[in-house]
Structure formats: C-alpha cells, structure tokens
Structure 1
Amino acid sequence: MFWMWITGLSLMLLAAHLYYKAQIKYGIPYEKFHFENSNEFGILAPKDWEEYEKFKKFEAKEQFRAALIAKPLVFMFGVGIFLFMIPTTKFIFRM
C-alpha cells in the first residue's frame, strides 16, 4: 500500500511539473502582442491587421500543441489521484 501511495503521489507531482515546464515552453506570450486600440465608439480593433492575423495563427497553433500535451498529463494526474486516494482512504477508515 505504501508503494501504491508513493507511486500516485509521484505521478501527480510529475504531471504538475511537466505541465509547468510545458507552460513555460509553449505558453502563449500575450505580453508580446500589444496591438489593440479602441476607436471613438469604444470598439477594440487591431492596430495592424497583418500582426493580428499572425497572432491568431500563432495562438491556434499553440492551443493545438497544448491540447496534445495536456491530454496525457491529465490522464497521468488522474491515475496518480486514483493511486493516491485508495491507500489514503483505507488508512483513514481502517477501523
């Protein structure tokens, strides 16, 4: 039971660490793109349309890449929670 608990805890920590590393590497740098301004009616509009289109393509590519990375990490985290909670609940309700 102890090894099951440690394995679950390790899987959760590994999934969280890999998610953190993926966000650093593949996260969308919103601060890089400052192109919105508002007109006299208060409607937000891009300053440069080409830069806006480039950002939309970049954002779509990064969201697809994040989805490919996130699915295995969510599965790993879920298995880790399952392996962690079984021994924990057995320990709490052992009476």
Structure 2
Amino acid sequence: MSLHFLTLVWNLTRVVAFWFRTKALRGKKMTEQMTRKKINSRIAEEIDRNLRQAFDDMAEQPVPDRFTDLLAQLKSAESTRKGGGEKDA
C-alpha cells in the first residue's frame, strides 16, 4: 500500500469520526433542549396547580368580620350622604 492511500484512509477515518461525534452532540443538544422544555413545562404546570389550589382554599374561607363591618359602615355612610343631600357636589 502506498503512503498516499494510507493518508487518504486516515483522513477519511478522521472525517467520519468527526461527523459521528458532531451528530451525537447535535442529538444530545436537541435531547437536552427537549428535556429542558419538558422540565420547564412540568415546573409551570406545578406552579399553576399550586396557585389554583391556594386560590381555591382562600376562596372557600369566609369573609372576615372586620371586612363585613367595614362594608356595613361604608353602606351606612353612603345612605347618610344620599339621604341628607349632597351639598359639596
């Protein structure tokens, strides 16, 4: 075998090895990106689920007495202003 032929085979081997390595890396990067998207999607779903649960729990609780008292005071003040006539308007 000639030296020229061996050099050609050696270079071809290096090119093929490089091609397979880069193909594997591209596949790995794509897999990592897909995995990252899946993880981000799962995290977003978990946050969404937790926020909904917290909101549902909060919505089921009764309104505190101090808020109902404040609302009653506001309604009373409004009816007094309307009943007594508004002179500042």
Larger CA Rg, structure 1 vs 2: 2
TM-score above 0.5: no
Q: TM-score, normalised by structure 1?
A: 0.37
Q: TM-score, normalised by structure 2?
A: 0.38
Higher relative contact order (CA 8 A, sep 6+): 1
Compare the two structures and name the one with the higher helix fraction. Answer: 2
